């Protein structure tokens, strides 16, 4: 989710680049940089931290020139630092390149280039492509980019923009899985990762298609297919407002982020589920130390706590190592039993939650091994841990966590199965089945979102004025019930309670009547029959039931007042799919009540106070 801007025209490029990058601020960034071409070649300036740090450096050391490329980084490989900031350059400085996405096969590329004597200056995957383009260059910049892409057998979702010191009137670019748009101005032209950066200058845009390349000069832009055959450039006029563009055309960041979940899951899986096994080499885990682990303790807050509750079931399922999950704020005062045979996993979208941070410090002080699952590279919690599995959901702006949650679940599944293989508790066959299931998730979530889940909207409309919702689930989907309830209450302000289905008859059943619905999460799996019994008990007491069931479940269809179907999947993967309709139920209920969905009252996106 990096921000990209390129410019060729008559203005001072630096100003256009900084202005454009500042409009991509909502994409989040931890470092930024520009490369500008003038008589003395390609000049690069980069800075770690917020964009303003770069602007200050450029005020002190101005770069002049009317061609340039600029980038704000959301780190995926290599911690936030100036040396890892884009643009990245070839060894001879002839090429500058910026990149949005993940190059899955960068390790092999880097080794190949290093074997040829190329010296790398950064830890990023991107730098490989700057060296490759320079290596393939023999006068034609577009051909050099195309040759580099071919030689790299580039895998992953990527967008690249390249400038060369010998081409004062040309930048070239390619879209391969990450969006790129070209802005058509008067005697000036632009490239950007999304329309937001272009709107002050032009509304005439070309949305590059998948696999397409483009050559952009001051006088115009040409578009090519993946075989470098020129194709018609389809110029359209966008009527998006800047605010709408930041939200990708969605009304709220939360809805945008719910719809980003397929690509967020894809990005989190990328490079980690090669062929039929889980590849977590990036974590540099020490198998010998991990084999000493006798207990696993998961610590987190809020939505992250609920993904960690699913994580408990996953770790015990795949590793057979006793695992417990604690609210970080409780863990700190519960006098937890921790020693060197303990593996503590801290889960946090922001990486800055105070309670989780303090609980982690407590565990580390007692000698535990530590891993984090986090969405913000270089944030405080990962910096304290022995290793971090980064969820690559991109910046999550809405206070209500959605895409971070599902990517945390995917992270737990990979970590648990990967550890299960290390300790010998998970078979190769089971891992293969799991990996196949994981690879289907993005498409299954997309199918759910494309179906627009009519039952959800009808239920939201019907029950927007009730004062209570009950959510029930079992085993892997008990935490789903808790998360569904949290989503609803934190953005609609309606009270909602998540409960283990088996607990209903121990008290909560007394609440059941026709004035509010119970959401019953009952996908295919070993607890489905018991959930069907729960539903029957509620119906027998005139209760209303919204059932989340696996597609084709006829019995659920006959029992449900509202039926929400999810695609069939492995039981341990079902929390990823089951939560999506619950996110939408909360969203549509809250919007119908006119709530401030992205900034609900009393809450903050990151709770950095205890």
Q: What amino acid positions are annotated as catalytic residues?
A: 2, 605
Could you say which of 356, 369, 380, 574 contacts ligand AGP (CB under 6 A)?
356
Placement of tokens 């995926």 in the chain: 76
Residues 507 to 566: which contact ligand AGP by CB under 6 A?
A: none
Q: Is 8 helix (H, G, I), strand (E, B) or coil?
A: strand
Half-sphere exposure of residue 409: CA atoms within 13 angstroms, side-chain side: 31
Query: Residues 347, 373: contact at Cβ < 8 Å?
Result: yes
- Segment lying near ligand AGP (by CB under 6 A), choices 218-226, 300-308, 497-505, 525-533: 300-308
In the complex, minimum distance from the CB of residue 384 to ligand AGP, in angstroms, rounded to a whole number: 13
* Strand order through the sheet with 562-566: 495-500, 468-473, 517-522, 544-550, 562-566
The sign of the torsion formed by the CA atoms of 549, 554, 558, 562 equals positive
Give Cα separations from 323 to 307, 345, 424, 462 (angstroms): 14, 10, 17, 40
In the complex, minimum distance from the CB of residue 471 to ligand AGP, in angstroms, rounded to a whole number: 15
State the Cα–Cα distance between residues 561 and 487, nearest whole angstrom: 21
Q: At what angle do helices 141-152 and 127-136 cross, to 10 degrees?
A: 120
Placement of tokens 């289905």 in the chain: 501
- Segment lying near ligand AGP (by CB under 6 A), choices 70-78, 100-108, 346-354, 573-581: 346-354
Placement of tokens 């391969």 in the chain: 176
Q: Which is nearer to ligand AGP, 399 or 435 (CB)?
A: 399
Q: Which is nearer to ligand AGP, 188 or 490 (CB)?
A: 490
Pattern 486-515, ligand AGP, x by CB under 6 A: ----x-------------------------
Q: Does 607 bind ligand AGP (CB under 6 A)?
A: yes
Residue 349, both tokens: 């979208």
Could you say which of 350, 372, 388, 480 contacts ligand AGP (CB under 6 A)?
350
The string of DSSP letters for 174-235 reads EEEBS--EEEE-SS-EEEESSGGGTTTT-SEEEEPPTT-EEEE-SS-EEEE-TTS-EE----
- Segment lying near ligand AGP (by CB under 6 A), choices 268-276, 394-402, 409-417, 551-559: 394-402
The string of DSSP letters for 333-384 reads TS-----TTEEEEEEESSS--HHHHHHHHHHHHTT-EEEEEESSTT-HHHHH
Could you say which of 136, 149, 301, 417 contacts ligand AGP (CB under 6 A)?
301
Q: Does 349 bind ligand AGP (CB under 6 A)?
A: yes
In the complex, minimum distance from the CB of residue 308 to ligand AGP, in angstroms, rounded to a whole number: 10
Could you say which of 31, 72, 303, 388 contacts ligand AGP (CB under 6 A)?
303
Residues in Cβ contact with 2 at an 8 Å cutoff, skipping those fewer than 6 apart: 27, 29, 71, 72, 73, 74, 86, 98, 99, 100, 193
Could you say which of 42, 208, 400, 410 contacts ligand AGP (CB under 6 A)?
400
Q: Which is nearer to ligand AGP, 142 or 298 (CB)?
A: 298
Query: Residues 472, 520: contact at Cβ < 8 Å?
Result: yes
In the complex, minimum distance from the CB of residue 399 to ligand AGP, in angstroms, rounded to a whole number: 5
Q: Does 399 bind ligand AGP (CB under 6 A)?
A: yes
- Distance between start and end Cα atoms, the chain: 30
- Segment lying near ligand AGP (by CB under 6 A), choices 259-267, 396-404, 526-534, 555-563: 396-404
Q: Does 304 bind ligand AGP (CB under 6 A)?
A: yes
- Residue 514 burial (10 A CB sphere; 0-12, 13-18, 19+): exposed
In the complex, minimum distance from the CB of residue 416 to ligand AGP, in angstroms, rounded to a whole number: 19
Placement of tokens 């903050």 in the chain: 604
- Segment lying near ligand AGP (by CB under 6 A), choices 95-103, 279-287, 301-309, 589-597: 301-309
In the complex, minimum distance from the CB of residue 354 to ligand AGP, in angstroms, rounded to a whole number: 9
Q: Which is nearer to ligand AGP, 420 or 600 (CB)?
A: 600
In the complex, minimum distance from the CB of residue 244 to ligand AGP, in angstroms, rounded to a whole number: 24
State the Cα–Cα distance between residues 336 and 331, nearest whole angstrom: 6
Pattern 108-127, ligand AGP, x by CB under 6 A: --------------------
- Segment lying near ligand AGP (by CB under 6 A), choices 66-74, 271-279, 297-305, 467-475: 297-305
Pattern 374-393, ligand AGP, x by CB under 6 A: --------------------
Q: Does 353 bind ligand AGP (CB under 6 A)?
A: yes
State the Cα–Cα distance between residues 169 and 230, nearest whole angstrom: 19
In the complex, minimum distance from the CB of residue 380 to ligand AGP, in angstroms, rounded to a whole number: 10
| Residue ranges that bind ligand AGP, judged by CB under 6 A | 301-304, 348-350, 353, 356, 399-401, 490, 606-607
């Amino acid at each position: 989710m990096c921000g990209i801007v390129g410019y060729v025209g008559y203005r001072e490029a630096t100003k256009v680049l900084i202005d454009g990058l500042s409009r991509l601020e909502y994409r989040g960034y931890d470092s930024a940089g520009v490369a500008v071409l003038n008589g003395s070649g390609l000049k690069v300036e980069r800075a770690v931290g917020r964009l303003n740090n770069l602007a200050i450096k450029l005020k002190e050391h101005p770069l002049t020139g009317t061609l340039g490329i600029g980038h704000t980084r959301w780190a995926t490989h290599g911690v936030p630092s100036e040396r890892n900031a884009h643009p990245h350059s070839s060894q001879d400085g002839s090429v500058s390149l910026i990149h949005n996405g993940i190059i899955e096969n960068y390790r092999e590329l880097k080794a190949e280039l290093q074997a040829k004597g190329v010296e790398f200056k950064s830890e990023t995957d991107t730098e490989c492509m700057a060296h490759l383009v320079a290596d393939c260059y023999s006068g034609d910049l577009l051909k050099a980019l195309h040759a580099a892409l071919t030689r790299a057998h580039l895998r992953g979702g990527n967008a690249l923009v390249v400038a060369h010191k010998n081409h004062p009137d040309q930048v070239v670019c390619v879209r391969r899985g990450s969006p790129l748009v070209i802005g058509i101005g008067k005697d000036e032209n632009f490239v950007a990762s999304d329309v937001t950066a272009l709107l002050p200058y032009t509304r005439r845009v070309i949305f590059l298609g998948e696999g397409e390349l483009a050559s952009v000069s001051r006088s115009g832009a040409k578009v090519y297919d993946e075989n470098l055959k020129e194709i018609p450039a389809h110029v359209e006029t966008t009527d998006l407002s800047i605010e709408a563009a930041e939200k990708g055309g969605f009304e709220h960041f939360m809805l945008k982020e719910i719809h980003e979940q397929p690509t967020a899951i894809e990005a989190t899986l990328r490079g980690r589920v090669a062929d039929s096994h889980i590849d977590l080499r990036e974590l540099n885990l020490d198998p010998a130390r991990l084999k000493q682990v006798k207990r696993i303790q998961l610590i987190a807050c809020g939505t992250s706590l609920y993904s960690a509750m699913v994580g408990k079931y996953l770790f015990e399922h795949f590793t057979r190592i006793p695992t417990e999950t604690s609210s970080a704020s409780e863990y700190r005062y519960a006098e937890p039993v921790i020693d060197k045979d303990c593996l503590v996993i801290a889960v946090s979208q922001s990486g800055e939650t105070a309670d989780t941070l303090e609980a982690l410090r407590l565990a580390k002080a007692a000698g535990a091994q530590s891993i984090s699952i986090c969405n913000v590279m270089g944030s405080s919690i990962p910096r304290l841990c022995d290793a971090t599995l980064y969820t690559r959901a991109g910046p999550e702006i809405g206070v209500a966590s959605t895409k971070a949650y599902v990517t945390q679940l995917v992270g737990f599944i990979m970590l648990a199965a990967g550890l299960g293989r290390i300790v010998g508790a998970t078979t190769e066959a089971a891992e293969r089945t799991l990996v196949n299931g994981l690879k289907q998730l993005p498409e299954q979530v997309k199918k759910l979102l494309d179906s627009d889940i009519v039952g959800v909207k009808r239920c939201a409309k019907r029950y927007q004025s009730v004062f209570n919702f009950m959510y029930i689930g079992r085993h892997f989907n008990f935490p789903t019930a808790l998360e569904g309830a949290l989503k609803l209450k934190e953005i609609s302000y309606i009270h909602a309670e998540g409960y283990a289905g088996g607990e209903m008859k121990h008290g909560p059943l007394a609440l059941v009547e026709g004035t509010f619905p119970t959401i019953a999460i009952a996908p295919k799996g070993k607890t489905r029959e018991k959930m069907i019994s729960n539903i029957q008990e509620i119906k027998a007491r005139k209760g209303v039931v919204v059932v989340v069931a696996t597609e084709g479940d006829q019995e659920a269809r006959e029992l449900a007042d509202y039926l929400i179907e999810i695609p069939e999947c492995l039981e341990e993967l079902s929390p990823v799919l089951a939560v999506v309709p619950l996110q939408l139920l909360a969203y549509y209920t809250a919007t119908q009540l006119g709530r401030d969905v992205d900034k609900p009252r009393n809450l903050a996106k990151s709770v950095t106070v205890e």
